[in-house]
Every structure is written in structure tokens, then in C-alpha cells.
Chains A and B, each alone.
Chain A
């Protein structure tokens, strides 16, 4: 009961600002609305018992990514606070893609046999993640560092070309 109430509240906290993000014509306010949305998702992670992921969600999304987005918007035309055009010529195609994606997701969601029985949660979330990363998923751990390296180099190349 309490969990359901918490879920509904968090879903509202996540979705309402998300609607503002796509509809607001002032880009900075749109970017600002991302933050409550990210924090709502943090709450959803907590409900699932994934505390460490919740911490990452605040630090990386609400902290780092939001700052990056705000920087980009404020340093370019969006920072003038003027209303921007919300729709363009490709409106129908966008709607079509969104429709297909939604339909696909609904079909998959309904078709998946969800396991309802809860597993046991580890004593410490971070420890469990750490041990898993360093033993069973070593390769993923090391590859992620390569992925980060590639994205850093790629981002710098693109950013420098634009200057």
C-alpha cells in the first residue's frame, strides 16, 4: 500500500517535469525541469532497493549531465531566454516513430513473464556491485574504461572542430 503510494507520487514527480521539458518554449526552463524528473527517477531506484544506482542517478544525471546541458543552452542561443520554435516540418515522422516505439514497448512489456518473487537484497549495495564488477564482470569493467576513453576523445574532436 505504502509502496504503491510512493510509486505513484514518484511517477508524478518524474513525469510532470518531463512534460514541461518537452513543451516549455524557454530552453533554460526546460532544462531546469529535467532536475526534478531525474530526482524522481532516483526515488524509483530507491524503491527497487538499488541505493548505489540512486546515488549515481543524482550525482551523474542531476549533477553532471544537467550542468552540461545548462552550459550548452546558456552559452548558445537558448540562453537568451526567448521562446523557441517547438515543432518543425518533420512532425508527422516524429509522431509515427514515437507511435511505433510505444506500440513495440507495450507488446514487449505485455509479453514478458515478470518474475514477481523478490530475491534477497545484499547487505551493502556498493559492496555487492564492487565484488560483481571485480570478479564476474571484470571484462565489462575494463571495457567501460575504454568506452569512456573513446567518448572523451570523440567529444574533444567534435568540440574542437566546432570552435
Chain B
């Protein structure tokens, strides 16, 4: 059995490595075929036709971060539900009640975030 698991993931590793090679291959072809002409304006970033103003890399809207934070917590919760979803029919009523408790407790977290306006995009 572990042999099969190792083989599965060996395939994953090979796919990742060969996939990178396959994806870079067309870039190599481009490098061979495509023209290269240097013009000073060419490598400016596009800003609707005007000369770019300042840097794009700057601090802005921290709101995005709040959503990422909530996301991480709910992702972890979903992870807990995966093994439960697989086995709950083998274990019957008791397992179901456990999940109800689990989800209700975390539902309170969602309600808290909602009431405190953390889910609001301002």
C-alpha cells in the first residue's frame, strides 16, 4: 500500500518538474525566434498612454489583508471537515452531532466577524 502512495507522489513530482520544462520550452522557442529591438519607451509600464507616475509598489488598502486572515481560519476549518465527511456515515449519529457542534462554534466566529464589520468592503 505505501508503495502505491509513494508512486502516486513520484508522479506528482515528475509532473511538476517536467511541467516546468514543458512550460519554459515555448519561452525558449520565443527566445530563438522573436526579434529584439531596444527602444527606451518600450520597457516602460503601461499607464493608459501617459508617462508612468511614480512606483506602483506602494502601501494601499489594508482591507485585502483582513479577508486573507479570515480565509486562513476557515480553510483550516474546512480541512477538519474533510476526514469527517469521508467517515461520518460509518460512525452514525454521534459523529453527526460532533460536526454540528464543530460548525456551530465556528459559525459564531463568522457571525462575530460579520457583526463587527470585518466582512464589509469599504
**Chain A interface residues toward B at CB < 8 A:** 43, 46-47, 49, 51-52, 54, 56, 59-60, 63-65, 67-68, 71-72, 74-77, 79-81, 121, 123-127, 129-131, 133-135, 138, 141-142, 144-146, 148-149, 151-153, 155-156, 159-160, 162-163
Contact = CB atoms under 8 A, between A and B. Distances in A.
B103 to A, nearest CB: 8
Given A46-B9, A131-B91, A75 B61 contact: yes
B86 to A, nearest CB: 5
Interface residues of B, number: 49
Q: What is the interface of chain B mostly: helix, strand, loop, or mixed?
A: helix
B79 A130 contact: no
A148 B76 contact: yes
B25 interface: no
A72 B59 CA distance: 10
Q: What is the interface of chain A mostly: helix, strand, loop, or mixed?
A: helix
B37 interface: no
Given A75-B62, A79-B57, A130-B83, 18 more contacts: A64-B71, A64-B72, A67-B68, A68-B69, A68-B71, A68-B72, A72-B65, A75-B65, A77-B59, A79-B58, A121-B2, A127-B83, A131-B90, A133-B80, A145-B106, A149-B105, A149-B108, A152-B109
A41 B87 CA distance: 27
Given A130-B83, A134-B84, A141-B98, A159 B65 contact: yes
Nearest to A155: B69
Given A75-B64, A138-B98, A152-B113, A127 B86 contact: yes
Contact of A148 (B59, B60, B62, B73): B73
A133 B83 contact: yes
B83 A80 contact: no
25 contacts: A43-B9, A46-B6, A51-B5, A51-B9, A52-B82, A54-B9, A68-B65, A71-B65, A75-B59, A75-B62, A79-B59, A80-B55, A125-B5, A126-B87, A127-B83, A133-B80, A133-B84, A134-B87, A141-B102, A148-B109, A149-B109, A152-B113, A156-B69, A160-B116, A163-B62
Nearest to A13: B13
